[in-house]
Structure 1
């Protein structure tokens, strides 16, 4: 006998800013926090890389 829950592909965890949190479990909220923290780290790294590239260009071209 098959278990329908294990046969279904899992949806990636995502979050829509401002959506209702009333129907989420504590575990689901924790997962979303983890996803959002990882995204914040990714954005911070991209920001830092762009700032470094801009600073290097400024030092070369005296912008």
Structure 2
């Protein structure tokens, strides 16, 4: 699992929250309570079942 930090100080907190909401509602990420915080994880199995090979091709693409 990779960690993703939205640490750009120029990005408003509301924008970050909206981005996470859009990804969650689209079924891209899973949002789990973890103590006082949240754990966001990629729904890899679901995405691979629906779009075989997509995640692998994105991760292997040149930057």
Give the TM-score taking structure 1 as reference length: 0.29
- State the structure with more CA Rg: 1
Higher percent of residues as strand: 2
Give the TM-score taking structure 2 as reference length: 0.29
Q: Could you say which structure has the greater relative contact order, defined with CA pairs below 8 angstroms and 6 or more residues apart?
A: 1
